[in-house]
Amino acid sequence: MENKSFETYLKELEAVVKTLEDKTISLEAAVANYTAGLELSKKCYDILNQNEQLVVQKMTESGLVDFESDYR
């Protein structure tokens, strides 16, 4: 599995969205692109979630207030 940056995945997702916005795309290509977009979206979400957990961990280790409980 290739490890790409969040920015790379996001650019790929933006390209998929642009392709899906093309009204001349075939149904098969649209479904394939939609599926690829879902996978890219999940990868972006996972990266964001991992980084959020890291920030919370660092804040907790530093003795800072747990912002999760304050802002949810």
Q: What is the rounded CA–CA span in Å between residue 5 and residue 9? A: 6
Residue pair 34/42 in contact (Cβ under 8 Å)? The answer is no
pTM exceeds 0.75:
yes
**pLDDT (mean) for 29-37:** 98
| Residue 11 banded pLDDT, cuts 50, 70, 90 | very high
| pLDDT value of position 43 | 97
Percent of the chain at pLDDT > 70 equals 88
